[in-house]
Structures are given as C-alpha cells and as structure tokens.
Structure 1
C-alpha cells in the first residue's frame, strides 16, 4: 500500500525517479562511449538496447508522462491528444515519399524545393509536414525551409526495419481504428468475439472475407508487407537473435527437432538455423506462405536447404496438429491473434502431437496489471511508486520493445 499521502510527496517521488532513471541511462551509454545527441545518429542505435537501458527508459518514460499528466490541466492534455493521429500519418507519408532517403549524405540539409524535386511532392505541403515532425524532434529545420535528417529521422529510410514496421502498422490499423465505435455498437459485430467480427473486418465487411489472414491472402501486396513486417519486428526486437543465442540449444543432441507453428516466412528459424547447425527445423504455415518461405531461404540460407536441415510442412492449425514427436514446438505471436476457444483447440492438437519429452515454447505478450496488489507473484515486475504498477507510458507500447497494451487494442 502506498506510503505517499500527499500529492506533493508523489510529485517529489516522480521527480526523483525521473532524475535517477535519466542518470542510469546516461551511465549505460557512457559505459561504452558517449551519450547520444538528438541531432545525429549514435553508434548504439543499430544495436539492441541492453536490459539496463530498457529498464531505465521504462521508468523515465513512465515518470515523464505521469508528471505531465499530473501538472497539466486535463483540457490541455486531452486537446493535445485529439490530434495524435497526425504524427503516424505524417511518418507514413515521409517513408513512402522517401524523404529521409533523399536527405542521406546531406548533413547540412537541403532546401525544401530540392527535397520536393527528389520526392515529387509539392514543396509547400512538404515543408509543413517536415516542420510538424521537426517539432517532435523528427527531422531538423536547419534554417528557413532547409531540412536535414537527425537521429529520429534516420531510421525512416525506406528500407529500414523500423520504416517497414511503421508502414505495416499504419496500413493495417488506421481504417480499423476509425471504426472501433461503429463496430462495438453494431448489434451483430459488437457482442461477438469471433475473428471475422473485429473492427478491421467491419471496415472491410463488403469484401465477404473471414478474418484478417484471409484478407491478407486476397491482398498480396499487404501480405508481402505483413511478412516483411514480421521479419522486421524480429530484427528490431531482437527476438530471433535472443532465442538463437540464449536458449540452451547446446544441451540438445545433434538432430534434435524444432517445429515453428505459424512460422510465416521463417525469420525466427533463419537465425536459429544460422547459429545452431545441429538442429533439424520444420516451418509450418499456410501453403502459399511456405512458398514465399522457400524462396526467402534459398536466398538467405541456401546451405540449410542443401543440408536438408529445414522442412516446409503446410498446416491448418484449426483442423490438424503439427508434425508429430518434435523435441521443441514453438509459437511466436500466434496465441494473441485468436479468441480463447480457438486457441484451446490449437493447443489441444499440439498436445496430441507431442511425445512425453516434448516442450512447447509460447512467445507472446503478457499484460502487466494497472492496480496495486497486496501480494505479487515471484515473476511480477512492479514499478516503483508512485508510477502505475505497469510502468504506465513506459510499458504501454512495449514489453522489451514489443507492443503490449497497443497490441491488445490491435487485437
């Protein structure tokens, strides 16, 4: 139970947390070099952040947000939030227009007229979007109508994993988010938990499709973007590298088997196969997805194909179980896609395929609680008071850089 009785005591505690977390982040950067500047890229920007830096940022962001919410009048906060959709919309625009690409190699910036010529965008409108983003420290206005890249805009080069993820999320969610109120108040869609009754499917209901993945199947360009986005997410979050290098694979005998259920095109397995050549891998997904996976593997890791270390086996996990008697079964970001009754069926079919020594790894989201509990499970990580136990804004969009509460709304 909180010992902070007064609002002033809570504000002082937030300020102390803010300062402490900032000092921890600074110390973590200085451990290997210099602290970053918002004006330019930093050597560690291309690396996965350490646990120490993630922990510091979680408190820093949570405390900053809670401090602003506490001290600002509610009207100030809410009137600002009504326009938050413009920022991702403008980020999407600059990625598709390749604005950051055009500024690479021009550290002193380019006049907006030259950027407009390179991108084909009307210069006045382009300047307004860049100036808006620059107020959010994304791009930099060097002088009037002269813009340059900075630390936050450099990852928006169109080929980067971050840019691909931004394109995917804005492509998929914008229309659906605008339909949340209509969907939830619709007498047919609102009460239903079925995948075909989601706000996304409400937005495309005239197409007569069954669920989001059926929609992808009928829209190849978006399906390709989704596959690229899942690969990008693994790279940005470090999922593949973490699993490939930190799980005790060396304790498993040569020829041990690993089955990735709902593998997509196999981004996770690519990293495992590259790091652990003694394993036999099986990718399972829809047939047309596995066709793309074979092509990817032939380009990225043909040696694994030549050595017959990877199989591609189609599956409909709503109707059938995975290949039998695997040592490890793995599901990454599958469970959160489906309602409980369908997930129970998937898990039951996996169980029926397992041998007595098989293990199932479920790699998915866990939402931290927002309320104080008298007793905590040993595995719980609770934020220091007076932060929300979930760390608030410090955890809303990621659990180790994977969306948490945002992803909950996505579903």
Structure 2
C-alpha cells in the first residue's frame, strides 16, 4: 500500500489548478468569476485560453473526485436517485419565465424579489415556488439574498427567454424526461433490448403513437408500453416533423446551437483551417442545422465558400439565422443553403472539406455507414471529411500510487490520482451518451469504433484534432 495521501494529492491539484486559473485571468486583464453576478464572465461567453481550459478541466475533475471520496456513499446514491427533481425544477422555471421576472426593469438585480411577488407575477403557489427556488439555489442556479428573497445569478441568466440554453429544458426536461421513464424497461425488454433500430429507443415507447403537447399545456402522459406491438413507432425526427410539434422543433434546433457554442466559437479556431482554405475551395456541412458552425469559422477562413445542407424546413431556419446574424455572408455568396438528405447521394462532388458535426452518434452503424458512403463517393483524393463528435474515452482508474516517472504517464491522461478521462469534467459527454440511447437508440462511440466505421466505408483516419471543446475532430480521407 502506497504512503501517498489521496486527499493531499487531490488538494495539491486543486491548489495548483486554482493558481493557474488566477494567473491566466490576471494575464488577460480579466476579473475572477463571481457566481452572484447577474451576467456571464467573458470566458463563459468565449473560448478561454488553452492554459485556462486545461486548469479548469483539472480543477473540476479534482473537486468532483474529492466530493466522491469524502461523501457518505449511501447519501450519494440517495441524492443521485432523486436527480429527476433537478430536471423537473428547471422545466418549471423555464415554463414560468422566472428568470425573466427577476430581470424585469423595476427589479434590483442585486436584491431580487420576495417569493410572494415572484409567485404573484407567475401565477404560482408561493410556498411551492420558494421550495423550488431554494432547491436550485443549492446548485447555484439562483441566489437567495435574504430569507425568502431570490435573485438571478450568472447561471440563471442562461434561463431567460431568448437565451438558447433556456430551450434545453423544453427538450430534455420534457421530452427526454418522459422518454426516460421507459429507459430501464426498454433496455430489458426482450423485444427491444438488443435492437439498434431508432424506432426501438425509449422515446418510441413513450411518444410512438402520441400527438404530443408540452407538459406545460397538457397533463396527459402516453400509455404505450415498451415491447407492445405498434404498427408504427415514431422516431424523434418524425415526431419533430408533426405540425403540433413546432415548439419542440424550434427547441431542438436551438439546442443544437447551444451545444455548439457551449464553450465558445474559438474552439474551432484550433483546427488548421489554412491547410484547406485555398482559392475556390468549397466546404460542405451535411446536416448543418442553421449553419452556426460556418458562421463561427468564417472569421478565420479567407477563401472557402460554405454550403450548408439540411432538410428544406431547416434550411429556411438557417437562412433566417443568417439574415439576423450575418446577412453579408449570404449576400456575398460565402454561405448558401442547399436542401439535401444525407441518406441520399451527395450532390457536391470533390469539395475540399465535408463536415459531419454531431451527426453519426444519432444513428446505429448501418445508417451511419450509409451516411459515410454517400460522402465517400463524392470525395476525391485531396478531399477531407471532418467528423466532429464526442469521442468516449474509457473511465479508467489510475494505479493506487502515482507513476514512478513522468515518462510513465500518457500525456492525454489526467494527472494522478484523477480518472484517466478526467472523470466528472466529462459529465456532459456521458449524459449525452445516455441521451443518445434514450432518444435515438444511438451510441456515442470510442475512437476504435469510429475507426472501424471508417474502414467499412473505404475511408481512413488521418489525424485526431483535440480542440478547446468537448468534441474531438477526426480528420478522414478516402482510401487510396
């Protein structure tokens, strides 16, 4: 047994990472983050420096592991099992617009409002609302400035109407939440447990034949059960295409934007775009949604033109997004939208770059191979495919004692004694991996699993680019 103290080692990581954060902030002339400010820190809005990014990753991971080490395990299981309250509370807050109420012009943002006034303005019960807000204060989502008086902070700012993040509870704390009630049963049911069909996702068991209303509008919960014979089980995409699903369709599109900007646009700037940005170059993104990625990259790409492809109704949303955010890109011809289904032939041949951003994880292998084949058929030897996905890394524990020498440690691994994948800092990637099963019956894949897909598609991996985002960029070329 090693004499090395686990707690002391974690404390050392926490102290060192905090000092590195402070040093980077000072060097950039930025203030330290403050939770109770009713505005985001500059590096919450934009991609931070590489040293800040690395220090923050280590700090969050070490704090998470320290909590797990010292917390009573029974208490941890009980609190984790009650985690559904968190989703329910966020859904309630968004549907009652409480963050907006606390940001009204006549409200002092430093003080907030008494819960009686919050309840009056939102038509809710004062005592129940107080419990919900206090519950969220525990997670630093709001602040209680004096007993029964609540105010926004930098977290709740993201729940105000119009902020893309405020759309997340409409999808995950509503559609995802209800789908999750069938998660365990669907994964155990003999009829669906081993299926990789998107129709057999937990989502399909709940929403398969349901003409849905938001839980804010209706208390009806669909009665379909996993494994029941259903002639047609709707997929998430069929559900979103229904006329009555407009609120969800809009929320889904904004959710994709939110996830992409979660760590700022500059993370994409870490890619060597100049390798491919030549006169006359064309970059094609299949399944581009509203084209936010091309908008982020335009500032570092001088020559290339972007073609954003998606379904016709999504292309219309994209054109609206650019009309409001970067109309010149459309007028100048730097960006255009092209309706196309990535399960059909790729109409743009020989592009310099093809992009699949958060697409393949939605689909099981057979469908993913079809998507890759259509792009591979359009590629020429100099073309590159950039696959932008969260790549799942095994959550390997470290040895019981630190490495004997630095050479013994993989530079991509977290420092001892953290899990090699940095543990809790990858909370969102693992949540997303669960949501892929829940909604799409899909899988976030490991690097080896992606390489196998590429090989079956007559493609090969060139390089994995690590950027200041949770996704990795796999650069792929056509096999010679």
TM-score (norm 1): 0.88
- Aligned counterparts of 1:264 and 1:379: Cα–Cα separation in 2: 37
Gaps of 5+ in 2: 211-231, 437-480
Change (3 A) 1:64 1:303: closer
- Aligned counterparts of 2:209 and 2:200: Cα–Cα separation in 1: 13
CA deviation after TM superposition for structure 1 residue 336, in Å: 0.8
The answer as to whether partners of 1:96 and 1:158 remain within 8 angstroms in 2 is no
| SS of residue matched to 1:206 | coil
Give the corresponding residue for 2:30: 33
Give the corresponding residue for 1:401: none
- Aligned counterparts of 2:208 and 2:384: Cα–Cα separation in 1: 39
Change (3 A) 1:145 1:79: same
The answer to whether residue 119 in structure 2 is matched with residue 93 in structure 1 is no
| SS of residue matched to 2:150 | strand
- Aligned counterparts of 2:344 and 2:33: Cα–Cα separation in 1: 51
The answer to whether residue 199 in structure 2 is matched with residue 213 in structure 1 is no
Give the corresponding residue for 1:80: 79
Give the corresponding residue for 2:133: 130
Q: How does 1:234-245 map to 2 (within 5 A)?
A: 234-239=260-265, 241-243=266-268
Change (3 A) 1:71 1:358: same
CA deviation after TM superposition for structure 1 residue 143, in Å: 1.9
Between 1:34-43 and 1:169-178, the stretch displaced more is: 34-43
CA deviation after TM superposition for structure 1 residue 351, in Å: 1.0
CA deviation after TM superposition for structure 1 residue 13, in Å: 1.5
Q: How does 1:204-283 map to 2 (within 5 A)?
A: 204-207=207-210, 208-218=232-242, 219-239=245-265, 241-243=266-268, 247-249=272-274, 252-273=277-298, 276=301, 278-283=303-308
Give the corresponding residue for 2:363: 338
Between 1:309-318 and 1:271-280, the stretch displaced more is: 271-280
CA deviation after TM superposition for structure 1 residue 277, in Å: 5.7
- Aligned counterparts of 1:102 and 1:410: Cα–Cα separation in 2: 31
The answer as to whether partners of 1:323 and 1:353 remain within 8 angstroms in 2 is yes
Give the corresponding residue for 2:60: 61
Q: Which of 180, 183, 189 is the matching residue for 1:180?
A: 183
The answer to whether residue 344 in structure 2 is matched with residue 319 in structure 1 is yes
The answer to whether residue 110 in structure 2 is matched with residue 113 in structure 1 is no
Change (3 A) 1:320 1:333: same
CA deviation after TM superposition for structure 1 residue 308, in Å: 3.1
CA deviation after TM superposition for structure 1 residue 372, in Å: 5.7
Between 1:254-263 and 1:19-28, the stretch displaced more is: 19-28
Change (3 A) 1:129 1:372: closer
Residue-by-residue CA offset, 1:49-93 (whole Å, 9 max, x unaligned): 333233222222222222222223321211121212212321222
- Aligned counterparts of 1:100 and 1:244: Cα–Cα separation in 2: 33
| SS of residue matched to 2:77 | helix
- Aligned counterparts of 2:247 and 2:415: Cα–Cα separation in 1: 45
Between 1:294-303 and 1:245-254, the stretch displaced more is: 245-254
- Aligned counterparts of 1:53 and 1:313: Cα–Cα separation in 2: 39
The answer as to whether partners of 2:398 and 2:417 remain within 8 angstroms in 1 is no
The answer to whether residue 48 in structure 2 is matched with residue 49 in structure 1 is yes
Residue-by-residue CA offset, 1:178-202 (whole Å, 9 max, x unaligned): 2111111122211101111111122
The answer as to whether partners of 1:327 and 1:359 remain within 8 angstroms in 2 is yes
Q: Which of 396, 401, 426 is the matching residue for 1:395?
A: 426
CA deviation after TM superposition for structure 1 residue 27, in Å: 2.8
TM-score (norm 2): 0.76
| SS of residue matched to 2:427 | coil
